[in-house]
Structures are given as C-alpha cells and as structure tokens.
DNA sequence: TTGCTAATGCTAATCATTCTCATTTGCAAT
DNA sequence: ATTGCAAATGAGAATGATTAGCATTAGCAA
C-alpha cells in the first residue's frame, strides 16, 4: 500500500528486499538500525537478503528521503525512518540507549551562528553523549 | 621547553616523532589535521615518521588531553590542539573550510536537554554543514 | 656507558562499506 | 500469459581508514 507509493515515487522498483527492509523500520521495534542490524534481523526472520543489498537499499532509501542516516560515536552508521520531524540525539555511553529531542532554541542559534559567519546552513549533526541515570541502563546497579 | 613538560606530565617519553607531531600542531598553519595530513606534512619536511606511529601518537595525545579529535562528515577523523576552549564547528561542504564557534546558549540548552531526560551529560559533538558565501571558497565564482 | 623498557616502523590484519559481475527479477509492452 | 530487457540482487573481491604484531631502535635512569 503505502510502501509501494514511497518506492515508486522514488523511482525505485518494488522488490522483495526493499519491501522487507522498509517494513523492518516501519514495524518499529528499534528506531535506529545499522546495516548489520538490518541484515541480522532479516536473517533471523528467515529472509535471505545479501549484506551488499542491505547497504545499497539503505543508501537508496536515504537518498529518496525515506530514511535518515546518523553517525553516532563509533564506526558504523545507523538509519531511522524519516518522519519529517527533525530531531537530535542523546546516546548513553554505557548501554547505547538513544533518546531523541528537539530544541527550537538550539536550532535557531545554529542558523544564526552560520549566517553570522557568512555560511548558508545546509544541515547539522548534534549528538549528546551521556550516561543514563535511570535504572533501566543495563550497566547500572 | 613547553612541549617537553606536556609530554612528561602525560607520562610520555620525549621522542623525535612526538615532538615533530606536536610542533606541527603548534606551528598552526592548519588547525585541523587528519592522520594522513600529519603524515604527509612530516614527509614533506623531510621527517620520516611511519604512518602507524602518527596514528599512535595522535591517539596518545588525545588521551593525554593535548589534542581533541573530531569526526567531520566523511570517513577520516581530524585532530586539533586542545587549548582549553571548547568550541563547535561549521564545515563548508564545497571547500572543506572549517570555522569555529561557541554559543553559550546552545551549550546551556544541551545540558538542560540531557538533564531533563535523566542523563548525565558527558560531552557532545555539534557540526554544522554549510556552504561558504565568501569569495574565498575555492568552489565559488 | 650500560641496560632495559617504551617507542618506532614495517607489514599484515581488521572492519565497515563499496564495487564487480554473473545471474535473477520486476514490469511494461505485446 | 509471454517475452524482453533494464534494473536489482548476491557472493565475493576490493577499498580505505585504522589497528595489531613483532623485530629493531632509541630514550633515559642508574
Ligand atoms: Mn532519531
Ligand atoms: Mn576546532
Ligand atoms: Zn544507559
Ligand atoms: Zn567553502
């Protein structure tokens, strides 16, 4: 239904691997997934998709505006569904939990910082690295 | 003189490669250098230092608090002299020029964002990606 | 000056990601 | 329903940045 429209409008054929990757993000157990994460989840559910294909599809989806890519501390990048709402991230250094937030003031001051220095802001990445205080953090207690 | 003190207090021997890397940053033609940048510059000035050593020294210096590491868009990370003053960066997507800035309000709101959500802020990374408007940008005009 | 440990410099190994290319598959036009 | 073909896939090789292993060298304390 909706997935097809998304793919079509992006000029992408509706293939099995692409539909599976997309529904993984839409089923939404975890919002932020790396290529490896996606690959493993598909394998686990009996769907055989090559790792190279996962990488390709993720990048195509990003270019099509279906996904957003982030580079949290560490080497591998993660993707999340693009729901139109820009937000930034707080990442727990101990358990890796990711919390999203949006601060209009921060956004505004960034625009100003760029403009004041003769830049045309294109986008930005803001990651806050912190430690959970909550008991949920699996590296606490 | 001063370099020696820095190295000693970090528990690092005063070796030729380390002194050369450090003076490269202190001579300060370019503030932000990748391992490859450092390697090339040393070669160019006739100093033969192995690339592996460059990587090791840069990481040691970061651990010692002499340098700060950044991950701008792209794969390779860059280092800059740690002069105590925290700041964030605006990177030109066309020419790669880097401009530094500090905004107390942004810093403050980040602390608050973390605290409000039960996090103990450790640090953060904020990169603004933009396009130069200035004529200096080598990909303009 | 000696001796020993830390540091260096090769090279080989990692690791994530991309590329190659032979084989399949979606899909539009019969 | 068939056919034709460009686009997509999958397996594995290639890449590029960074790190690890190890034999050799060089600080530095005695
Ligand atoms: Mn998010
Ligand atoms: Mn800087
Ligand atoms: Zn946590
Ligand atoms: Zn520029």
Mark whether A40 and A72 lie in a shared domain.
yes
Average pLDDT, chain B: 92
For residue A10, the enclosing domain spans 2-81
Question: Which residues have CB atoms below 7 Å from chain C, the nucleic strand?
Answer: A 13-16, 34-36, 51-52, 55, 59, 75-77; B 12-13, 15-18, 48-53, 56-57
Domain of residue B116, CATH code = 3.30.1490.190
Residue with nearest Cα to nucleotide D9 C1': A53
Contacts of B121 (CB under 8 A, 6+ apart): A128, A129, A130, B110, B111, B114, B115
Retrieve residue A17's tokens. 């691997």
CA-based angle B23:B24:B25, to the nearest 5?
Answer: 90
Indicate if B41 and B101 belong to the same structural domain.
Answer: no
Higher pLDDT, residue A141 or A128: A128
One domain, residues B72 and B11:
yes
Task: Tell me: do B25 and B53 sit in the same domain.
Answer: yes
Q: Is residue A140 part of a domain?
A: no
CB-strand contact B75/D, under 7 Å: yes
- B18-64 tens-digit pLDDT: 999 999 999 978 999 999 999 999 999 999 999 999 999 999 999 99
Helix ranges (H only) for B28-136 are 35-44, 51-63, 104-116
User: Residue A34: in which H helix or E strand, if any?
Assistant: strand A33-34
CATH number at residue A24: 1.10.10.10
- B61-100 tens-digit pLDDT: 999 999 999 999 888 999 999 999 999 999 999 888 899 9
pLDDT band at A4 (very low <50, low <70, confident <90, very high): low
pLDDT tens by residue, A83-135: 999 999 999 998 888 999 999 999 999 999 999 999 999 999 999 999 988 77
Whether the CB of B110 is below 8 Å from some CB of chain A: the reply is yes
Instruction: Place A141 in a pLDDT band, splitting at 50, 70 and 90.
Output: very low
Angle, helices A16-27 vs A2-9, to 10°: value is 120
């Amino acid at each position: 239904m909706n997935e097809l429209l998304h793919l079509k409008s992006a000029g992408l054929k509706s293939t099995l691997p692409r539909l599976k990757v997309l529904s993984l993000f839409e089923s939404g157990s975890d919002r932020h997934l790396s290529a490896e994460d996606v690959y493993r989840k598909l394998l686990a559910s009996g769907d055989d998709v090559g790792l190279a294909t996962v990488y390709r599809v993720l990048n195509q989806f990003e270019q099509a505006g279906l996904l957003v890519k982030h580079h949290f501390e560490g080497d591998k990048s993660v993707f999340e569904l693009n729901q139109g709402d820009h937000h930034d991230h707080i990442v727990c250094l101990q358990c890796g939990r990711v919390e999203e937030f949006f601060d209009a003031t921060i956004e505004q001051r960034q625009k100003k910082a760029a403009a004041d220095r003769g830049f045309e802001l294109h986008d930005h990445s803001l990651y806050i690295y912190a430690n959970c205080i909550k008991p949920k953090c699996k590296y606490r207690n």
